[in-house]
Structures are given as C-alpha cells and as structure tokens.
Structure 1
C-alpha cells in the first residue's frame, strides 16, 4: 500500500497534498536516503547532512548531454564565418587599408610590451594545453580531455589542408580572401596555433574556471596580436581562424555531448532546506515547455512545485524565445533572458507582483542558486480545475475570469499565455492562474490587447463566442473589448489554443464577427501585423535586391551630369504637369464611382497619399485600402465603399485595355497580335475555368459564397448600378480613367522628347503599357526595378538609343513616382489629422 505522502499513479492529485505527478518517462532509478536514527546520534566529527532526511526520487542524470545553446552557437558561428568570407571578398581594397591602419596603430606599442606579449604567446601555446589537460584530469574527466585533444587535431588538419590548397594554386576563393602575395609565394590562409588552441579550449569548456579562464583569454589575445604584428597572416585569416576553431570545438560538443552540469536532486533538496522550506520528499516529475526540470516537493503543510533551471536546458527556452522574437513583433514574444540569473529574477518578480495584486497564482517561496551552473525556484501552487477540464462556466465564474484580466491589465502585467490550461477555478470558486507564463511587467498596449484576445478565444472555446463576448462586455465595457479585434489572429494565440481551434473550425471567425458587431458600421478594423518576417516581406526583400541591382546597372550607363546638361527643360516642365494630371484623373474617376459628392482637394490629396503608401505596400493594395477608408469617412458604408473602389478599378482597367489596343494598332503591331492568343494562354484560361467550376461544386465553398459574399454583393450592387443611371457620374468615371492613362503615356513621351528622341507616340504608349504590366507583377514598392528595366528595353526596341532610353525612363520615374512621395507623406498626415482617412 502506498504511503499517504506518495502521489497516486496516473497523475491523480494526492488527497493530502495535491501533488500532480505526470512523468513523461519511467523512473529508472530511485535514490532514497534513510533518515538518521535518533537513537544513534551522529559523531561530532561527522556533521549531519540535512538532505539525508529527504526522500529523493529521480532517474539517473546522464553523464553527457547535448546542450541546445551549443547548437545555437554553432549555427551563429557558421553564419558569421560565411558572412566574413563574403564581406572580405567584396571589400578587398578596404581590407588592406584596415590592416595597414591597425598595424600602424599597434606597432607603436612599447618594445618591452611587445617582447612580453611574444614570450607570453610562445610559452602559453605550449603550457596552456598542459594546464587544461591537468585540470580535466583533476576533475576526473579523461574522456573530455581526449575529445579536446581530438578537436585540436581536427582543427590543425583543416588548416594543413587549406594551406596545401593555397600553396599548390588550388585555393581559388580561399587564396583571394584569406591570403596575400609574399616574396616566397602566398601568406598562410589560417593560423594553425589559433585554430587548434580555440578548438581545445571550447571542448574543454573552461568558462567559469577561476584561474584557467582568464589565463587562457590572455594567452589567446597575446597570440592573435603578435601573429598579426608579425605580418605572417592577414587580419581576415586571423578572424577566420578564431571562428573556425570555435566552430570545430562546438561541433565536437554538439556531436559527442558535453559533461552534464545538472545538479542531482539531493543538492536541490539541500538548498531548499537551507532556504527554510521544510522538505520531506522530492520527486522528479518532467521537463516542462520552458526547458526546466520540474520536481514535486512534499512538506508537512502541503506541496511545493520546484523548478530547476540549469545551463543544459536553459538554452532550449532561450532558443525558442529568440526564434519567436525574430519571427514575431515584441507584443507577442518577450526577448529571451541573456543569463540564467536574469531569467530567475524575472520569474520571481512576476510571482511576487501577482501575489501583491491579489491574484491566485503560483507564489515563490524559495529562490537560490544550486552550484555555479543552476538555480532553483519553489512555488506554492494553487489547486483547482482549469478551463480545459470544464464543459461550461456560470455567470459568476465568467465575471471572475474577466475581473482577473482586468486586475492584471490595471497593474500593466501581461501573462502572454492565457490558454484554457493557464486559467483555473479552485474549490472555493476563485479564478486564478495555473502558471506564471512568459509574462511582462510594465507591458505595452499591444501586449495587453493580445492577452485579452487570447483569453476571449479560450473562454469562447468553453462557452461559445456569443456568451464570451457578452460576458466580457458586461465586465470590462464595450470599448475595452473591441480593442482586441485587430490582434485576434491565429498567430497571437498559444499552441494549446490553436490546437483546440482545429477541433472547432470556424470558431475564430465567429468570435471576430461577434466582436465586429460592437463597432460602428463605418469603421473598418485592420488587423495588426504581428509577424516580423512574412512571405511578402521575404519576397519584397529579394525583389528589392534584384530591383536595386537593375537600377544601379542602368545608372552605371548614364552620366548624370551629362543628363542634366543635355535635357530640354521645357519638356521637363510639361512632364511634371502631366505627372500631376495623373492624380487628377484618379480623383475624377473615384468621384464618378460614388453617388455622393467628394471634395476634389481631399480626393486629390488621397491619391497623393496612395503614392506615398506605395513605398511600403504594392500599388494595388495601397490604392484600395486608402481609397476605401477615405470613402468610408466620407459617409459610405464599408461594403459600398469597397464596391465603389472596385468600380473605379474596373473603369481604369477598361481604359487601359482600350488604349493598349488602339496604341498597338497605330504602332503597327496590328490587331492580329492582340486578338490571336497563343494556345498556352487558351489552355491556361480553360484550366482556370475548370478549377473555378470544380470549387463551386464543393458545398463548403458554396456556403461561404452564399453566407458571406452574396449578402454584401446584394447590398452594394443596387447603389453601384445607380451610378450608370447618371450620365454625369458615368462621364466622370470613364473620363477620369482615360485622363489617368493618357497622362502617364504623355509623361513618358515628354521624357523621351526631353533628350531629343522623336520616337512615335503610339510606340511609346505600347512601351508604357508593357512596363506597367511588368511593374504590377514585380513584388517591389511601385514596381521598382522591373518598370525601369522593362521600359528601357522597350524604348531601345523601338529605336531609341540606349543612353537616351535609360535617361528618359529615369526622368519619367523621377516625376511620376519619386517626386510625388514627399507630397504624399504630407497629404497622408494632413488627412489623418482632419479625420478624412
């Protein structure tokens, strides 16, 4: 029969102490230290270990572990080594100048100091490996010594191979980057002493050793400095030698593992007893998501939850948090703690603040270091059932849930993990927190809103979206609840909540729709972008690099001074006038797409703001978003505003197509070219039609169209069709669209005339339309790079000289794209200030 203090199997809570035991692996060993017999007191010369009275149950701690932090360091060092090679190859001239400046600066050191450094380097290179080996043997780590020597040998072999490649003329890239010509051939590409020494020290893991660590640092610094001053190797070779030695050492540590620094449970029990926790029993439970080792502790008065943070597992949580911090913005992910002590202090402060706020949450009762590489924190855990274990909540419980988040937010405390498993209800009906979470103190507004969005979703899973929103509004108020709408996104939710939503498909959309009913119908809620790195940003970055390369290549062909001297400024002035007319055309077309009256100045400023937004968004996206917002603030419902912008876009497309056909015919391309599509195009259109028909056969797709798309279309179409019943509005719509495209064509014509070209106007028009098509397909702001390359090639194809073509296109883009940007910035700020956007 199990003792009353022993938790029941299967993770059930103990009747007396409530310890939840959920081991993730079978316990393979039990360490039980019997209490000292009271009838046989210890001898005076044998002090009694207080931990001897504690029953410790845990599996054997492995002798060697693979630390996640080592894998992260290995990846970072590899990246730095590659970047170092690339930068050194790109800056050959600068590299030599830097080496010369450093040599002159350090060469002025006193001769006696240089002599001491030389002696220290020479003796250190011989004696330091011996000292490290002796230290490892004293600490009874012969295997680690063998691995350290093996890493040094491997590093030396790599250097020998690299030197052989360079001296035989087969070094290629390495010869250009790492060495320089000398009177006897080439300088060594790497330093074998530096590489081997760094590899040995890395595997020996001397960090934290009181006397070896500073001595080793001094010897390495002296070796690097004297080697550089001797001129035997280049500065780049020295830096790469340091990185390569570190890389080899880390590879050995990741491959073979490092000596474990995890403290055993007996040491943890001893520390807890010293801090005043009357521990009787300590049992290892599992390793939680933070990378800690978690123990269930038993005392006379109840249970404690013990978390041990050690160097072996600390990097696991820090690595995950670092990836989240890189991928997501600060509101969702707190940056990782740099040191173990910083993590310990943050958790303790979080627990104490929650206790001070009166929140029923884990309360720290003991915090201490366990040796030089670990720390322990013990909590008194609240008992109860989590929301994940409940099928429903009554009104009072719901009110307490929202009062909990209200208390946290009033203290500016963010939990960052309000899932169903994080919120609990105890036997007395009090609502509290099961975990402290990866919380934040003095949290910003976006973080608190994400907290509210997480809790709204968690509660909606239990009681449904409608009841969750209504109870939150009753407790917090409508204004406080609707602040969560922009961050109500899947990426802002915890993994546990996202997993639950997979079983409740559509719930997140229902919750968002329920929250949207709380906002005025004229307001559009734009989601907050929580990701730092998205597919769009990656594509934009790659496209920007390619575009920059194309633009710089074109600029290299142009003498800007000659361009300014030879340009005919009367044509430049006309070009600027037509560039301004493009915004007038867009304004007139938008005014013709709505039944209400729009102020021309404000509409014109909105189109300028669209030009500025093109810097950070594709032209079509910025156009639609800003114009829709402008129409909403002018008094149109969201559905009608969106449909009206769509009508303006359709009118511009029709104008574009008509002018393209006319220009193609007049330029001599002939109607046959425009109206005889290739078999590939026909096959592509048929494929799209077949796929569309197939999707319509899917019931869920038809349901989405029937329930969400068709109601908006029915409400918007009558008002949009009313435009066609007013000839004045129709004339505005089509006339503005024609003015927009004609002005762009005229701008390009003026740019070519400014440099003396007399290319036919229809041919230049065809070039403009082709460039616009390519620009809309290039994923860069304003089609940067793609438009310039396409238009330049098009002008050259119709007979414009290469230099003139590039100059004309650059002048055209300066007037139609770059010049409006500062005016667009001013317009956007002004429209926001007066509430027009």
Structure 2
C-alpha cells in the first residue's frame, strides 16, 4: 500500500512533538530587566520634575495661570461634559480592558495591575492627606507646588497610570489611544478646576509609572520564553527532524547572552539521512547547536552598554539596544560574512522566529572546548598561530568580532581553532574597530600564553606593521569587561605586550589614542568641585573684603609669599635626593612650578607624580627607574608625614595640659586609637586588604632597590630627607604667616598639626589640588584650635591663594617652556 507525501510527513511531525529535551525547569515567573530600567527612568523623571520646579516655580505658576485664564472663556456646559466623561472614562476604560484580558486568560497580569493601582492609591492618598497637611510649607508643598491649594499628586490618575503600566497594551493601539485620551482629559479637567497643577500632573505621571513598573519587577511576570521542546520542535519548519536535545549552557551561570541547545537529528521528512553525529557531547554527539534569543533578554545589560556608548567615542561603542528581529539579522549577517571571508567558524544552517517572544539560530555543531577550558600545556604555538590565521581572515574581510575573549575561541577535537560568538560582530568595520579587535585578541592570548608567545606567534601571520598599529590601543578601557577584570589583577600585562611589540619594531612606540570622551574621575571631580563651591562660596560671602584689606598686616602676607616660594625649592631638592642621576637644580624647580599648574586639572596626589615621572624620563632616566624614583620620594614623604603628625599631635596635646608634661591629651589618644581600630577592622576584610596591598604594590613597586641606591650616597640621602622636611616647613610657615596677617595667632605645634591634617585630606580626595576638601579641613581645624571663624576663613583664603591659585600663571609659563625645551 502506498502513502502520499503528506501521509508520510504527518507521522514524523507527530513523533517530533515529543522530542526529549534535557534542560532545567524554567521558572514560572521572571523579572525582566526592562521593567527595572523603566522603574529607574521613572524615578529619575520624578526627581527631575522636583528639581526643575524647585528652580522654576514662577514658570509653573505662570503656566497654571495661563491655563486657568484660557479655560475661563470655555462654555461651562462643555467643561461639565468633559469632567463627567473623564471621571467616568478614566476608570471605565481600564476596567473594560481588564475584563477583555480576563477572557483571554490573563488574570494574573490583571491581578498584579490591581495591586499596583492599590499601592499607587495608598501612596498618593498619603501624600495628599497626611504629608502635606502635617507639614505645610515642607518640601512637597513649597518646592513642587508652591504652597497653593492644589494637591501634590492627582489621586484619581496615578492608580490608573500604574494599572496601565502593569497590564500592558503593547500592540493594542485602539485601547492605548482611548485610555491615554481619558487620562489626558482627566488631567485637563484637573487643571481647569485648579485642584491640580502642571508640575503635580507631571509628578503624578512619573510616580504612577514608577509604582507600576516597580511592582511588576518585584512580583515578576509570567515567563513568556518558549520551552526547549517548543524551540527544538520549531526546527521542523527548516526541514529538519530533531530527535533529542539538551541545554548546553548553565542557566545559573548568568554568562550567556542567549540559551544554547545541542540537537541530535534523525532522518528528514524527505528520507535523507543526517550527517553522522560528532563525537563527544553530553549525549554522544550533536548535529546542531542552537542559540535562542529571548525578547525579554534584549534589554539585559542596557545600562552598561549605554554607559560605554556615552563614555567611549562613537566608532568604538558596540550595540546599545536592538529589537529581537534586528539581533537575529545582525548575527546571521555576521555569520554568513565570516564564512564568506574563509574564517573557520560554525556554519549557520538556518534562522527562525519562534512565536513573538524568541528566535533561534541553528549552527552546525563543532565538538571541542572553549579556550578558557583548555589546559595551559595544550596551548601550543601551532594552536596560537591557527587562531591568528582565522583572525587575519576576519580582518581581510573587514569584519570586527568585538568580543574576542577566551570563550570566543573554540578549540575543536581535531586541534583546529574556530571563532564563535559572532552575535556582537560588525561588517564593513572601520580601521579603529579592527585595531581594537587586534588589541583584544593580543590581550586574551597573552593572559593564557604570556605576552612573549602571543606576540611571537602573531608576527608571521599579521606582520610587524599590523602589530605596531595595536600599540596605541592597548588600554584597559578598550577591552571587554571580563578582560579588564583579568588585566586589573595583572597590571604589568599591557606594558609587557607593548614592550614585546616595540622590541620587534622600535619606531612603533606611540602615545595611546584617546578612546574616552570622559573618564569616571572627571564626573567625580565635577561633583566634588560643586560641593567645594558650596563650601567655599558661603565662606567668601560672609567676609567683608573691604574691612579685611584695610585691617590686614600685609608684611606678614609677604612672609607667607616667600614661604610659598620656598616650597618649590624644597620639592625640587626632595626629588633630586631620590634620583641617583644628576639633575639640574633650577630646571627641577621649574618642573615643580609646572606641576602647580597641572594640579588644577588632576587630583593633588596624581598631578605632581605624573609631571615628575615624565621629567625624569625626558632627562634620560629609564621608565622603570623613573617611576621608582618618584615612588621612593612619595614613600619617604608619606612616612615623614605620618611621623610628624604623630609627633606634633603628641606635643600639641601635652602643651594643653595643666602640668606642661609630655603626657598626651585624652582626645589625641582616643583619636589615634579610634583610627587604628578602624584601619585594623578594615584590613580584616579580604577584599579591602587586597585592594590596599595592590595599590601600595603598584605605587611603590621597585622603590626598595631605588632606596638602596640612594642610601649609598649620604649626600643624596640628606638632600632628599632635607627637601622633605623643608617642604613641610615652607607650608607651615606660609599658613602661620597667613594667620598672623589677619591678627590671629596659634601655637606653632597646632599650626603644624592643622597643616598636616588638611594636607592628608587634600591628598585623599580626588579633586584638582584637593579643592574644597583642603579649604573645609583647614577652616574647621583652625576654628577648633581656637581661631575666630572669620579670621580662620580669611587666613585659609590667603594661604590657598598663595599656594594654589597664584602659581597657576607662572606654572603655565613654566609648563609651556619645559615642553618647548622637550623637558616634559
């Protein structure tokens, strides 16, 4: 008896509907990253409304008045009908939509939406009836709504907005239009009736959205992801007949961008036999490897990608946000382009959308291990060379991989290298993207095989010119997140890679290319400068400058100026003492003056170090010894600073006692013990201990050998230590003379303690020149020491004028001169 083709196909489809898939049970509910992002955005919008209205109260009141005057001429019957329609429709339309959802068996979503509406109602009711009523003129009343009779939030609208945000109306344009029309109509009637303001309605919108999305994220949504069985069964639409499958990635790992399944095929519906299964695998070998893209995961990692997009220049940023369809097309195009370029990569068999919530890409399975799982002894030069050959084919095809980490290299069972994970790739890539790929792969292979082997195996394949182009790109910011974390644990890795390339081609040494639009430190500095202005400006505003100038003793100001000038000579001697090589005195003084200019664009503890290191390198000192020399001077300065602070704190405490003995005051003892206890407790935390150890090691690596060299020359040792002490003396004299210029006086031991404390605070705070922190610490310390607040503020301003602001112009001139002479 013969069968038709349809009859032959039908039993096979029925059989494949029960394809066994070995995978962990999927959760019934998930928390979508998109809900968390929308919650954060809504909270930011609410904060922006509060901030904006606090600065523009008159504008919002003017808008309110204009609306009231405009609607006063409208027919009363029309306003009454609009009020009636909005009062009825703003509740009736969402209820009707909820009933429609119940008929579609979406009751859980409706229940969560009702919960969000109840929370929104409770919050708005509390704000309207309790907070503002109990505290008239408070933040909500005065900053946002200006103390009018309007309610702080619209109690009728906020629960509806929260309900709509949770229940979801995507794809239902008519329901969306009617619902939001009713909400807008209710808002308009609230404005005309003067029980809601423009700012209140804006805050109501963001509050309702925040509560809705926050509730949805906290409770979770029903899992829309298709099961593994559904995904595997969908392969029949590609003419394939799956027989068995298993989940390959670990759902608890959180490292995969998509789900991965291994699939074993049977004979197709047309009677064709599949290729034999590859050896290995959890079930004896797979024919296919599926990558499943879930719609709800498309926003995963979006904040980080946006941060990278804003921080890095346009040509270096990867994808930010793509739709499911766009992600499917992008990965498919990259896979086909890589195969056309001749790179060894798993063949893409087909792509398919699985409903509206997922899509799959079916790759030919290649048995093997990721480079991360390959033992070090199996990473041979032949394997590294093969990786470089596949990479060269991508480069010739103008294809950027963008994530050439250890997991992106698959070492097959036959020992051949395959490039995988092309989902973030880019076709027709520019030169910068290709060079970044080269820097990334160099770093990845150097982490596994060492910089020497990574560079040595790349030279025969890529050539010295191509490797030289990667030297400016070897920056941590240019690498992927996982690679940056690995490089952070081995801070010498990137310099060693650069040295290996420069050894091959010395002319390839070049300054790193600026890849960042800004650094995180810049944002921190801007915030810190704003805080500093908040601290310093009120101090200046409270001073009568005319009276100040009239009563000041200006010859003391001249003494302070001379003491400030002495500090540059002291800093030069301090540096010269810890450099075995001979340095010219006055050029070194000019370098310290130039460093005072750099302080305005770099933190106090960073600018001087960078300038001195660059100066030593230009003077013929090799980079390693130059860094070690500056580190040695900084280390001795740190030790001297701590010892002087303890010594003079001890003496200051003893001079305040009635018996004038050398017993320190109880306050000093308690402060020292408290600081020691806090430091000891902090160092018991392993992570803090690792960070402190790493920072000290990076700052003072190579310092001990350099100090040994200096100890062999008593003259150098005396110069370095003498300069260190003279530097402290100069600053203390400047501060003491500034105090005396305005009629104040303190014991000299107290002045030393005040300076050392404020200097430590200024070095710890990453603001240019310690701006804000030094002023605040000095003023507070001088006031506590017994100086009048006005005198303390005046003395601090003069001191900072002489030590920070006045040297800026001559420092800029010195910086320009030294650059012209190629000394910096």
| TM-score, structure 2 normalization | 0.73
Distance (Å, rounded) in 2 between the aligned partners of 1:316 and 1:689: 38
Cα RMSD over matched residues?
5.7
Aligned counterpart for 1:357 among listed residues 341, 346, 352: 341
Deviation at 1:798, TM superposition (A): 7.0
Distance 1:369 1:790, change over 3 A: same
Aligned counterpart for 2:418 among listed residues 413, 432, 437: 432
Distance (Å, rounded) in 2 between the aligned partners of 1:292 and 1:712: 46
Distance (Å, rounded) in 1 between the aligned partners of 2:652 and 2:671: 24
- 1:159 corresponds to 2:113: no
Deviation at 1:273, TM superposition (A): 6.6
Distance (Å, rounded) in 2 between the aligned partners of 1:39 and 1:659: 97
1:424–1:431 CA contact under 8 A, matched in 2: yes
Distance (Å, rounded) in 1 between the aligned partners of 2:179 and 2:760: 63
Aligned counterpart for 2:769 among listed residues 771, 778, 782: 782
Aligned counterpart for 1:392 among listed residues 349, 361, 378: 378
Q: 2:241 aligns to what SS in structure 1?
A: strand
Distance 1:735 1:290, change over 3 A: closer
Aligned counterpart for 1:422 among listed residues 404, 408, 412: 408
Aligned counterpart for 2:327 among listed residues 323, 343, 346: 343
Kindly report which structure 2 residues correspond to 1:268-307, keeping only aligned pairs within 5 A, or say none. Answer: 277-281=238-242, 285-286=246-247, 288=249, 289-296=255-262, 298=265, 303-307=287-291
Deviation at 1:165, TM superposition (A): 1.5
Aligned to 1:133: 98
Structure 1 residue runs of 5 or longer lacking an equivalent are 1-36, 695-699
- 1:720 corresponds to 2:710: yes
Q: Deviations over 1:443-486 (max 9, x none)?
A: 548843651344224542xxx66544543455456786685799
Q: Deviations over 1:351-396 (max 9, x none)?
A: 2442343222245454455544444444445555543346524443
Aligned to 1:76: 40
Aligned to 1:27: none
Alignment length (residue pairs): 766
Aligned counterpart for 1:455 among listed residues 444, 464, 469: 444
- 1:98 corresponds to 2:84: no
2:710–2:717 CA contact under 8 A, matched in 1: no
Distance (Å, rounded) in 2 between the aligned partners of 1:70 and 1:365: 31
Q: Which stretch of structure 1 is more off in the superposition, 209-218 or 145-154?
A: 145-154
- 1:620 corresponds to 2:605: yes
Q: Deviations over 1:175-199 (max 9, x none)?
A: 55666655xxx53332222112112
Distance (Å, rounded) in 1 between the aligned partners of 2:766 and 2:118: 50
Aligned to 1:629: 614
Kindly report which structure 2 residues correspond to 1:529-544, keeping only aligned pairs within 5 A, or say none. Answer: none
Distance (Å, rounded) in 2 between the aligned partners of 1:348 and 1:758: 77
2:94–2:179 CA contact under 8 A, matched in 1: no
2:57–2:146 CA contact under 8 A, matched in 1: no
- 1:57 corresponds to 2:19: yes
2:532–2:771 CA contact under 8 A, matched in 1: yes
Q: Deviations over 1:182-226 (max 9, x none)?
A: 5xxx53332222112112212221122232123323333333344
Q: Deviations over 1:253-299 (max 9, x none)?
A: 3354434544577986798676xx33222766438544534455646
Q: Which stretch of structure 1 is more off in the superposition, 507-516 or 426-435?
A: 507-516
Q: Which stretch of structure 1 is more off in the superposition, 246-255 or 265-274?
A: 265-274
- 1:228 corresponds to 2:214: no
Deviation at 1:72, TM superposition (A): 1.4
Aligned to 1:209: 172
Distance (Å, rounded) in 1 between the aligned partners of 2:708 and 2:292: 67
Aligned to 1:15: none
Distance 1:120 1:54, change over 3 A: farther
Aligned to 2:807: 820
Q: Deviations over 1:537-592 (max 9, x none)?
A: 99978876764543244234224576578778787677656544533432344345
Distance 1:117 1:647, change over 3 A: same
Distance 1:222 1:444, change over 3 A: farther
Deviation at 1:129, TM superposition (A): 1.8
- 1:808 corresponds to 2:795: yes
Distance (Å, rounded) in 2 between the aligned partners of 1:392 and 1:686: 50
1:284–1:293 CA contact under 8 A, matched in 2: no
Q: Deviations over 1:404-425 (max 9, x none)?
A: 3344456665534434443134
Q: Deviations over 1:123-163 (max 9, x none)?
A: 53144124413431453324433443443344334433443
Q: Which stretch of structure 1 is more off in the superposition, 680-689 or 415-424?
A: 680-689
Structure 2 residue runs of 5 or longer lacking an equivalent are 250-254, 276-286, 685-689
Aligned to 1:586: 571
Aligned to 1:401: 387
Q: 2:418 aligns to what SS in structure 1?
A: strand
Aligned to 1:195: 158
Distance (Å, rounded) in 1 between the aligned partners of 2:256 and 2:68: 47
Q: Deviations over 1:739-760 (max 9, x none)?
A: 6445434544554466x53647
Deviation at 1:315, TM superposition (A): 3.5
Distance 1:53 1:105, change over 3 A: farther
- 1:311 corresponds to 2:316: no
- 1:241 corresponds to 2:227: no
Distance 1:788 1:208, change over 3 A: same
Deviation at 1:232, TM superposition (A): 0.6
2:258–2:293 CA contact under 8 A, matched in 1: yes
| TM-score, structure 1 normalization | 0.72
2:169–2:175 CA contact under 8 A, matched in 1: yes
1:362–1:381 CA contact under 8 A, matched in 2: yes
Distance 1:713 1:651, change over 3 A: closer
Aligned counterpart for 2:540 among listed residues 555, 569, 572: 555
1:558–1:803 CA contact under 8 A, matched in 2: yes
Aligned counterpart for 1:471 among listed residues 452, 457, 460: 457
Distance (Å, rounded) in 1 between the aligned partners of 2:368 and 2:702: 47
1:420–1:497 CA contact under 8 A, matched in 2: no
Distance 1:422 1:826, change over 3 A: farther
2:290–2:362 CA contact under 8 A, matched in 1: yes
Aligned to 1:16: none
Q: Which stretch of structure 1 is more off in the superposition, 559-568 or 640-649?
A: 559-568
Aligned to 2:278: none
Q: 1:810 aligns to what SS in structure 2?
A: helix
Q: 2:292 aligns to what SS in structure 1?
A: strand
Deviation at 1:169, TM superposition (A): 2.8
Q: 1:424 aligns to what SS in structure 2?
A: strand
2:316–2:433 CA contact under 8 A, matched in 1: no
Q: 1:783 aligns to what SS in structure 2?
A: coil
Distance 1:573 1:157, change over 3 A: same
Aligned counterpart for 1:219 among listed residues 179, 182, 192: 182
1:381–1:434 CA contact under 8 A, matched in 2: no
Q: 1:836 aligns to what SS in structure 2?
A: coil
Aligned to 2:252: none
2:352–2:360 CA contact under 8 A, matched in 1: yes
